[in-house]
């Protein structure tokens, strides 16, 4: 079921390679063949801090506490020398930012992309702190990355780069210290190399990393978790809003790992999906698209481009269609100052990280659009990563049904907490989510003490 | 003091021409030399002093420390009276008022004022009402200051973390 849905971001790439690796198809075909492996607009620490700061203003907490919570605990920056296949040496930059561990070991993905820099990694690490706190999983927040265009690497070079990176940061990670996971352009195979390299240095320890292949201590349900979690949240949202999912129209931007599964599960619930897109284009039908047919079309590794049903529209048009719920499930900053006035959806569910810029968020909030924030809507991935870690620590494995049940309990509880606080204090859902997360990290920080 | 002079004192502008003339008969025009004490803290209240020119310092004794300067008053900054509390009540003077330079003032002696009140002179009641309003405004200001000081005292000794914990456990208990 490999899906060639560009741009590959976050779990998109992970899914493609995961599936391919289990179907015996060469990874190189996707990741090293020269196909574009794009990324969204760079996410800045400043933008993440805007939403954090907005919540801090509501809480009226002093500047010193804000400094304490916003500043990463540790930022590790390393040089990774790599002997290329042709014998020449290149030196890559790598980062691991450990933002906060008041609530537990640092947790967050590891991305390989040409635009990775410390500022972006800090931003993503901070988001992880609030995401793990909001969903009440016992982790802090971290993120890592290597500044590399993976299209330029052979599989062997990628493996050596990964292992050398582990050598550089192994003292800072561990099953009770910091647990990496897949992110943009890293996949289950990369996680397997990380586990192996770490185990070489510290002894067998699969719990040092999550998102591993199913045959190597991976967890059932992990692959679909982000999309599934987003749909669980959508179901609760519509129930609260008194809407029937069958009478509600959706558009899904991105058919990577998150969008693909979101579309599949929404389709299974009878939702009317009027628009979908991937990097190659978008299709629209106000009467509802045949979702399973589209997913079958792209699941063979194809692009939406070749799909003949529906009306072809541009990717930009997809975002401004008349619809009830917009699910941005690909790259960041897609709803921004340039198109915020044309958005016609009543609800936006952020299945991707930071798809709405601060300016657009303020505008849409004024307009009355309800936005379910990324730290809630796409938390399914890290929640099931947590389940994988728990299973690894227990030397036990769950069936997918158990993972899905536990995921449903965790993510809907977080949703209801956010919704309740938002209603009680007259807040938008994003601010309420940040307030809750800050409260949980804050309480842990206070109990631990500062000295 | 001549009636014309009383008319010229800004403080008495709330009185009519006739009322000011009536007051002119009871007030005393006084000159204080630099450093001279107009009112002594703890002393018997002598009456109301309306400043016409010059500056006075208001100081309060602080046990174990040097005196604390509470205010510098002069007609130009709108703070033209001292001793108003002593005019209406029997409490002893709460602070010492000293002339910074030469100070010219009009004094409404306490006993003469009390006699006018006893005699039912409307002008005396009018002055009493005017002073009561000034005191009411001052009490309102003091209330605000007290609240701010109380907050300051509460904050004193409380760490940032204590304040954050209190906020999380009270205002943001969810």
**CATH number of domain containing A26:** 3.40.50.10860
Can you tell me the distance from the alpha carbon of A315 to that of B74, in angstroms, rounded to the nearest whole number? Answer: 74
The whole-number pLDDT of residue B74 equals 87
Contact status of B62 with chain A (Cβ, < 8 Å)? no
Among residues of chain A, what percentage have pLDDT more than 70?
90
First CA to last CA distance, chain B: 71
Q: What is the pLDDT of residue A1?
A: 31
Residue A35 located in a structural domain: yes
Residue B111 has pLDDT above 60, yes or no: yes
Checking ipTM against 0.85, whether it exceeds it is no
pLDDT of residue A11: 37
Rounded to two decimals, the pTM is 0.72
- Which of A55, A65, A66 to mutate against chain B (most B CBs within 10 Å)? A65
The answer to the question of residue A359 being in a domain is no
**Secondary structure in 3-state letters for chain A:** CCCCCCCCCCHHHHHHHHHHHHCCCCCHHHHCCCCCCCCCCCCCHHHHHHHHHHHHHHHCCCHHHHHHHHCCCEEEEEEEEEECCCCCEEEEEEEEEEEECCCCCEEEEEEEECCCCHHHHHHHHHHHHHHHHHCCCCCCEEEEEEECCHHHCCHHHHHHHHHHHHHHHCCCCECCCEEEEECCCCCHHHHHHHHHHHHHHHCCCHHHCCCCCCCCCCCCCCCCHHHHHHHHHHHHHHHHCCCCHHHCEEEEECCCHHHHHHHHHHHHCCCEEEEEEECCEEEECCCCCCHHHHHHHHHCCCCHHHCCCCEEECHHHHHCCCCCEEEECCCCCCECCCCHHHCCCCEEECCCCCCECHHHHHHHHHHCCEEECHHHHCCHHHHHHHHHHHHHHHCCCCCHHHHHHHHHHHHHHHHHHHHHHHHHHCCCHHHHHHHHHHHHHHHHHHHHCCC
**Which residues of chain B are within 8 Å of residue A443 when distances are taken between CB atoms?**
165, 168
How distant is the Cα of B140 from the closest Cα of chain A, in angstroms? 27
Domains in chain A: how many in total? 1
pLDDT digits (tens, 9 = 90+) for A81-107: 999 999 999 999 999 999 999 999 999
| φ/ψ of residue B129, rounded to 5 | -65, -40
Q: Where residue B148 falls among pLDDT bands split at 50, 70, 90?
A: confident
Q: Cβ A442–B161 below 8 Å, yes or no?
A: no
Window 109-168 of B, Cβ < 8 Å to A: 160-161, 163-165, 167-168
Q: Are B160 and A442 within 8 A, CB to CB?
A: no
In the CATH scheme, what is the code of domain B3-169?
2.60.120.10
Least confident of A62-76, A127-141, A366-380, B142-156: B142-156
Annotated active-site residue A143? The verdict is: yes
Q: Is A450 in Cβ contact with B174 (below 8 Å)?
A: no
Q: State the best of A102, A421, A441, A443 to mutate against chain B, taking most chain B CBs within 10 Å.
A: A443
Average pLDDT over residues B16-34: 89
Lowest mean pLDDT among A359-368, A398-407, B78-87, B128-137: B78-87
Low-confidence winner among A174-183, A284-293, B138-147 (lowest mean pLDDT): B138-147
pLDDT band per the 50, 70, 90 thresholds, residue A361: very high
Residue A118 lies in domain: 11-208
């Amino acid at each position: 079921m490999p899906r060639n849905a560009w741009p590959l971001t976050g779990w998109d790439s992970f899914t493609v390679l995961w599936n391919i690796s289990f179907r015996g198809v060469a990874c190189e075909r996707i990741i090293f063949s020269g196909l574009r492996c794009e990324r969204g607009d760079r996410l800045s620490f400043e933008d993440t801090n805007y939403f954090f700061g907005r919540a801090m203003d509501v809480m009226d907490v002093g500047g010193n506490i804000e400094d304490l919570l916003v500043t990463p605990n540790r930022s590790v920056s390393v040089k990774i020398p790599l002997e290329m296949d042709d014998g020449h040496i290149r030196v890559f930059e790598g980062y691991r930012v450990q933002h906060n561990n008041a609530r537990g070991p640092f947790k967050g993905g590891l991305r390989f992309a040409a635009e990775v820099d410390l500022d972006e990694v800090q931003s993503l690490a901070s988001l992880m702190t609030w995401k793990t706190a909001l969903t009440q999983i016992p982790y802090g927040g971290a993120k890592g990355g290597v500044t590399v265009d993976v299209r330029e690497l052979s599989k062997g070079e990628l493996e050596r780069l990964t292992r050398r990176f582990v050598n550089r940061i192994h003292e800072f990670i561990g099953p009770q210290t910091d647990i990496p996971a897949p992110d943009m352009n890293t996949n289950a195979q990369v996680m397997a190399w990380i586990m192996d390299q770490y185990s070489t240095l510290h002894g067998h320890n699969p719990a040092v990393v999550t998102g591993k292949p199913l045959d190597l201590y991976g967890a059932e349900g992990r692959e679909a978790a982000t999309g599934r979690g987003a749909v669980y949240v959508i179901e609760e949202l519509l129930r609260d809003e008194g809407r029937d999912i069958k009478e509600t129209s959706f558009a899904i931007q991105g058919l990577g790992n998150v969008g693909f599964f979101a579309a599949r599960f929404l389709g299974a619930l009878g939702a009317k999906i009027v628009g979908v897109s991937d990097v190659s284009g978008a299709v629209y039908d106000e009467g509802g698209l045949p979702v399973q047919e589209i997913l079958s079309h792209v699941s063979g590794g194809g692009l939406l481009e070749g799909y003949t049903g529906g009306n072809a529209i541009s990717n930009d048009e997809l975002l401004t269609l008349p619809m009830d719920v917009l699910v941005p499930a690909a790259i960041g900053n897609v709803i921004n100052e340039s198109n915020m006035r044309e958005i016609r959806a009543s609800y936006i569910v952020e299945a991707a990280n930071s798809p709405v810029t601060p300016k657009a968020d303020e505008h849409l909030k004024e307009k009355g659009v309800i936005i379910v924030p990324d730290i809630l809507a796409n938390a399914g991935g890290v929640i099931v990563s947590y389940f994988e870690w728990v299973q690894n620590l227990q030397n036990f494995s769950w069936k997918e049904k158990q993972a899905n049940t536990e995921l449903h309990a965790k993510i809907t509880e977080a949703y209801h907490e956010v919704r309740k606080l938002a209603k009680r204090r007259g807040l938008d859902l994003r601010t309420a989510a940040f307030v809750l997360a800050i409260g949980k990290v804050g309480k842990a920080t206070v109990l631990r003490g500062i000295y | 003091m001549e009636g014309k002079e009383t008319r010229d004192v800004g403080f008495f502008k709330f009185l009519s021409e006739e009322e000011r003339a009536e007051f002119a008969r009871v007030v005393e025009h006084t000159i204080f030399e630099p450093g001279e004490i107009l009112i002594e803290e703890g002393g018997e209240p002598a009456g109301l002093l309306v400043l016409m020119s010059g500056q006075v310092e208001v100081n309060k004794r602080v046990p174990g420390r040097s005196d604390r300067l509470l205010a510098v008053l002069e007609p130009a900054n709108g703070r033209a009276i001292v001793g108003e509390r002593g005019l209406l009540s029997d409490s002893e003077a709460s602070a010492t008022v000293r002339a910074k330079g030469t100070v010219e003032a009009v004094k409404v002696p306490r006993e003469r004022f009390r006699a006018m009140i006893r005699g039912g002179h409307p002008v005396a009641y009018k002055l009493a009402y005017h002073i009561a309003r000034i005191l009411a405004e001052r009490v309102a200001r003091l209330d605000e200051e007290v609240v701010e000081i109380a907050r300051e005292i509460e904050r004193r000794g409380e760490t940032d973390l204590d304040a954050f914990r209190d906020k999380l456990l009270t205002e943001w208990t969810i």
